[in-house]
Chains A and B, each alone.
Chain A
Amino acid sequence: MSTLTTNFLTPTGREEAWRFTPLKRLKGLHDASTSLADHPSLTATQLSAGVTISTQPSVETGPSSTTDDVVVQRVRDTAKSVTVVAIAADAVITEPIILTRSSLGGAAEASRTVIRAGIHSQSTIVIENVGTGLFAEEIEIILEPGSTLRFITLQEWENDAVHLGRHHAIIGKDASFTSVVVTVGGSLVRLCPTVEYAGPGASADMYGLYFAGNGQHLEHRIHVDHNVGYAKSRVNYKGALSGDGARTVWIGDVFIRAAADGTDTYELNRNLLLTDGARADSVPNLEIETGDIVGAGHASTTGRFDDEQLFYLESRGIPEGEAKRLVIRGFFLEILSKIAIEAIEERIMDRIDVELSKVEIA
């Protein structure tokens, strides 16, 4: 347990960053009156050559980025040690590096992780969140020049978990970052996948898939800071909602600074409402300080099934329920296929199928 050393402001819900989040359901993670356990919670069962995982005092591994997120500030305050995952320079690691979370369960906890991809390294890191937890975390991901990192986080929590997180990537010159965020579990999950750039030629491909069932609040707040020129970003998040009180929030902030000539960015969010009583918020924001760019755009759609798609499938003898499942699977496949690990793709789709079987799809 730790005491706070900085002036910690508890969100009230009126702040832009917190206005969509039901604070009461955070069980005190955001609240200075609740103390957090310091818990480096990621472990690896086996590591390929070229990967090391260690625990270091946080005084030696300070934050590499700034944040105005009060919960993340609290995590930084609480965590006395940091889990450091390092990929050696030039290492080409074909097997995915699987990191599993061992959460404390019902106790409020904080965790800090730093992932460092060495120069010209190539790797895939998968973080699996299962079981239950009351959990605030920060992961900083530093891509050295020329590195390629695929970063996959799976929120497969049981449906009572609360998870607040910031996953911040700093992408070096000519480095390539791909993230896939899958959120299918948890009572309340609020993730901030954010990126900034450390050099030109850097690129970020950020994918997300979420499925909210009865009473789940799943929030993803993307922030892309085009702080240097000639960098690229692509964001594509897809979600489906079913059941009473199913709620999703997607915020897509892209900031193109005056110095960011030659920026190329596009972000997309699509939501599929499967039943009455579900609500999806989708808010793309594009702020542009220079006109000298390659392209910048965004699109957001939220809707029900396409009647023409269903009619086409049904007219080929496929019953309505099965036609809807085909359409949902197809809808998610574009994102799921980015995981490129068949066993995980199937596991996620199975979980979605189970959720779908619980409801009468409208």
Chain B
Amino acid sequence: MSTLEIKNLHVSVTTDEGAKEILRGVDLTIKSGETHAIMGPNGSGKSTLAYSIAGHPKYTVTAGTVTLDGVDVLAMSVDERAKAGLFLAMQYPVEVPGVSVSNFLRTSVTAIRGEAPKVRTWVGEVKAAMTALSMDPAFSERNVNEGFSGGEKKRHEILQMELLKPKIAILDETDSGLDVDALRIVSEGVNRIKESNDLGIMLITHYTRILRYIKPDFVHVFAAGRIVEEGGPELANKLEENGYAEYVTA
């Protein structure tokens, strides 16, 4: 049982005009097995929340705390956060030329597990995870994210999540750029991992479409850098009908 606890988180970025505050006091607690949907208009700071928790150097935390099972996440380097059990499925996964998917996955899993996976079982493990996501095995010989379609990138993110077995996963607009078939495959993957690992999920999305496949336990409306309304799955239905207009006028 794990708990990610975000308290009064304030985050700034440096711009040409000086520091600009993006997150203005975020409070959120995610426990193992829970799925929290973070919904909000573009520019409300949803992705900043995701990247700040993962430790992207662009963002500066000016106040507040983030802990995982009571341990200070903000004091950790980026790789330590991953080793502690956090995973960020990125909206725009980055191309890494000359590094094959198989080399990348092996290096990553070795770092997270603290020892190299056994050659005998590793090949089968990767193959099974790829098959479950309807990925061609030839995929592993390609360079990381290079020339991948939108759908391939997102499947590759979920593949990593499957192999790294995090405690808490942040899915940043995993639904963007996916057609219905790809959305279904990716969502089934997320649900499968959640079932088998008791994964806690922060599901960041602009649209309610993905919530038909990944059922949230809690819905949080995000606007102007903080959570402005919280509720159960029924809140998503309200957003579906009314949009974000009432939250962005303020």
Which residues does A use to contact B, with CB under 8 Å? 306-309, 311-320, 322-323, 326-327, 329-334
Contacts and interface: CB of A to CB of B under 8 A. Distances in A.
A314 B94 contact: no
Given A307-B57, A315-B54, A317-B111, A334 B82 contact: no
A315 B57 contact: no
Nearest to A306: B94
A329 B98 contact: yes
Given A311-B56, A311-B78, A316 B108 contact: yes
A323 B111 CA distance: 11
A327 B99 contact: yes
Contacts of A317: 79, 82-83, 108, 111-112, 164
A218 to B, nearest CB: 21
17 contacts: A307-B58, A311-B54, A311-B57, A313-B96, A313-B108, A314-B78, A315-B79, A315-B82, A318-B79, A318-B108, A319-B79, A320-B77, A326-B103, A326-B104, A326-B107, A327-B99, A330-B98
B160 interface: yes
Given A315-B88, A319-B111, 14 more contacts: A309-B95, A311-B94, A312-B90, A312-B96, A313-B96, A314-B82, A315-B87, A315-B90, A316-B104, A317-B164, A319-B77, A330-B98, A332-B98, A334-B97
Given A317-B83, A317-B112, A318-B111, A330 B78 contact: no
Interface in B77-123: 77-79, 81-83, 87-88, 90, 93-99, 103-104, 107-108, 111-112
B108 A330 contact: no
B55 interface: yes
B96 A316 contact: no
A317 B107 CA distance: 9
Given A307-B57, A316-B160, A319-B79, A331 B98 contact: yes
Q: Which 9 A-B pairs have the closest CB atoms?
A: A330-B98, A333-B98, A317-B82, A314-B78, A317-B111, A316-B108, A312-B94, A317-B112, A330-B99
A318 B79 CA distance: 6
Contacts of A306: 94
Given A314-B79, A319-B79, A327 B112 contact: no
A309 B97 CA distance: 9
A311 B94 CA distance: 9
A330 B97 contact: yes
B202 to A, nearest CB: 15
B78 A315 contact: yes
Contacts of A316: 79, 82, 104, 108, 111-112, 160, 164
A129 to B, nearest CB: 26
Contacts of A330: 96-99, 143
A191 to B, nearest CB: 24
A315 B98 contact: no
Q: Dominant SS at the A interface?
A: helix
A256 B110 CA distance: 51
Contacts of B93: 312
Interface centre among B55, B104, B160 (most CB of A within 10 A): B104
Contacts of B103: 326
Contacts of A309: 94-96
B99 A314 contact: no
A229 to B, nearest CB: 34
A211 to B, nearest CB: 15
B94 A308 contact: yes
Contact of A327 (B58, B96, B164): B96
Interface in B158-174: 160, 164
Contacts of B54: 311, 315
A311 B54 CA distance: 9
B57 A326 contact: no
Nearest to B113: A317
A322 B97 contact: no
A323 to B, nearest CB: 8
Contacts of A307: 57-58
A329 B143 CA distance: 12
Contact of B99 (A308, A311, A320, A329): A329
B224 to A, nearest CB: 26
A331 B96 CA distance: 9
Nearest to A330: B98
A331 B144 CA distance: 13
Contacts of A334: 97-98
A326 B79 contact: no
Interface in B52-78: 54-58, 77-78
A327 B160 CA distance: 19
